Amino acid sequence: MSTPTSVHEDEQAPPPATGAIDRFFKITERGSTIGTEIRGGLVTFFAMAYIVVLNPLIIGTVQDGTGQFLGGGDAPDFGKIAAATALVAGVMTIAMGVFANFPLGLAAGLGLNAVVAYSIASLPGVTWADAMGLVVIEGLIILLLVLTGFREAVFRAVPVELKTAISVGIGLFIALIGLVNAGFVTAGSGTLLALGNLGTWPILVFVVGLVLTIVLWVRKVKGALLVAILTATALAVALENTLHIGAKAPDGSNPNGFNLNAPTFDGVVQVPDFGLLGQFSLLGSFQNIATVTVILLVFSLLLADFFDTMGTMVAVGAEARLNDAEGVPPRSRAILVVDSIAAAAGGAGSVSSNTSFVESTTGAGEGARTGLASVVTGVAFLLATFLSPLVALVPYEAAAPALVFVGFLMMTQIAGISWKNVEIAIPAFLTIIVMPFTYSIADGIGAGFLAFVVIKLALGKVRAIHPLMWVASVMFLVYFLLGPIREVLGL
């Protein structure tokens, strides 16, 4: 594991590419192989696949301001939402691989989908089509910011050590996600977090997967993460078929069951229904809620999307050893363009804003360094539209060990931060801890940016603050004050 510097600066030139695929994706040039990229793409898919199940449970169970569920019915339609979720994720992830040549998967963003469901669609008079129209608007605005060079310029204005802190913070964040998803860490009684019930079969699956991951990794076994995920899944299927453990229910019953989905086999093929595609109203929200409210809602979506992707691509690039000396991944503008289009595509597909997934670091940890891995991940998502029963076989507990272990790999970058220099150490520290503690990449970046500006001001080093860092910090200040602003305006 190396700090985010140029790839193979001190190594000999790679051997010449062999074959069209190798040349197109620069596989040999980046020190990878086709087999490694395929494995990395599959690992990323398995780490992300839960979104096909989870996104419908978030946006599919909420009634809009007119009392209708997503799709226009009076009852949830999980199958239709799952199909559209997998389709948009597949198309946009393939686009990331082909046009940006970067190992980054995209899908409906967690957190963003909850905002769309509970803070937008549920407003009185607002329909799901109106809410998805706002997502499309947000994506188009971000795309405009990329095409004008603003988004990339802000990214390059961030000090390199702060970029490193973003990557480390994301490492802790995804490790916490893995521990929580597996049920190893839960909300405590009288404490914020506590150990879960370690005497359950699902936790055994997680522990076996994590131990196997560590053993295979230290023994330098190729495909360690993928082998561990598949082995843990096989164990989970065997336990479910013999003990009939089941899944935890939303009402709290069956507390010792699998999180989210039990690994049951219900066939192989399921014909998808793509009826949600195109079900959005671009300007419908302006007719049902105040314009100021619309602007604030779009701004909150935009800022989270704007900086989440920035942090994620730094983390993936660092893990894949692709970032340059300034912590910038190759073809960063192309990455941001595809990500911006994905945000709008998620709204157009009625599945909420699609964004870059931090779980892509698992594929990079497996060795993925090119867009071929993204193509593999995207194809797997497209197959998931038909093979959703097979996707449901992989429970949280089997995929979570990969997240925890990659969190360790990303944590090693912390050595690249000058901890004796308080001018960068304090912003870096806040960036790192706020991400997992608030469960938000954007919140961590905002805390670090604001601390950086405040410290420079306190030391009278105004000229050391890049103008775009001022802009970004003001945006974050507004973002953090959105709640009080809405109260003052009576919204």
* Per-residue pLDDT tens over the stretch 328-351: 899 999 999 999 999 999 999 999
In this predicted model, which residue has the larger pLDDT, 60 or 13?
Answer: 60
Question: What's the confidence (pLDDT) of residue 11?
Answer: 46
* Per-residue pLDDT tens over the stretch 242-294: 999 998 887 778 989 998 778 887 767 778 889 999 999 998 888 888 887 78
Average confidence (pLDDT) over 32-46: 95
Question: What's the confidence (pLDDT) of residue 4?
Answer: 43
Question: What's the confidence (pLDDT) of residue 491?
Answer: 64
In this predicted model, which residue has the larger pLDDT, 482 or 3?
Answer: 482
From 70-74, 163-167, 357-361, 437-441, the region with the lowest mean pLDDT: 70-74
Share of the chain above pLDDT 70, in %: 96
Q: C-alpha angle with apex 107: 106 to 108, nearest 5 degrees? A: 140
Q: At 222, is the pLDDT very low, low, confident or very high (cuts 50, 70, 90)?
A: confident
Question: What's the confidence (pLDDT) of residue 6?
Answer: 41
- DSSP helix, strand, coil percent of the chain (3-state; round to 5): 65, 0, 35
Q: At 354, is the pLDDT very low, low, confident or very high (cuts 50, 70, 90)?
A: very high
DSSP string, 8-30: TTTSPPPPPP-SHHHHHHTTTTT
Please state, in angstroms and rounded to a whole number, the distance separating the CA atoms of residues 272 and 257: 28
From 171-175, 224-228, 484-488, the region with the lowest mean pLDDT: 484-488
pTM for the full predicted model? 0.81
**Which helix (DSSP H) or strand (DSSP E) does residue 349 occupy?**
none
Question: What's the confidence (pLDDT) of residue 5?
Answer: 42
**Which helix (DSSP H) or strand (DSSP E) does residue 34 occupy?**
helix 34-48
**Distance spanning both ends of the chain, measured CA to CA:** 48
Question: What's the confidence (pLDDT) of residue 14?
Answer: 60
Please state, in angstroms and rounded to a whole number, the distance separating the CA atoms of residues 470 and 43: 39
Average confidence (pLDDT) over 482-486: 81
Nearest to 114 by CA among 137, 135, 139: 135
Question: What's the confidence (pLDDT) of residue 261?
Answer: 79
Please state, in angstroms and rounded to a whole number, the distance separating the CA atoms of residues 39 and 31: 15
The residues pairing with 258 across neighbouring beta strands, listed in sequence order, are: 247
CA dihedral 430, 432, 437, 441 (to 10 degrees): 100
Residue 193: is its pLDDT beyond 90?
A: no
Residue 18: is its pLDDT beyond 50?
A: yes
Question: What's the confidence (pLDDT) of residue 8?
Answer: 42
Rank 349-358, 382-391, 392-401 by mean pLDDT and report only the highest. 349-358
Pull the structure tokens for residue 403: 């997240």
Residue 103: is its pLDDT beyond 80?
A: yes
Pull the structure tokens for residue 440: 């938000």
Which residues lie closer than 8 Å to 45 by C-beta, 6 or more apart?
Answer: 105, 376, 377, 380, 381
Amino acid at 464: A
Question: What's the confidence (pLDDT) of residue 10?
Answer: 43
CB 252 within 8 A of CB 271: no
Nearest to 175 by CA among 430, 409, 442: 409
* Helix-helix angle 128-147:150-157, to 10 degrees: 70
Question: What's the confidence (pLDDT) of residue 396?
Answer: 85
Question: What's the confidence (pLDDT) of residue 13?
Answer: 58
Question: What's the confidence (pLDDT) of residue 152?
Answer: 86
Pull the structure tokens for residue 223: 């495909």
Please state, in angstroms and rounded to a whole number, the distance separating the CA atoms of residues 343 and 113: 11
Please state, in angstroms and rounded to a whole number, the distance separating the CA atoms of residues 106 and 351: 13
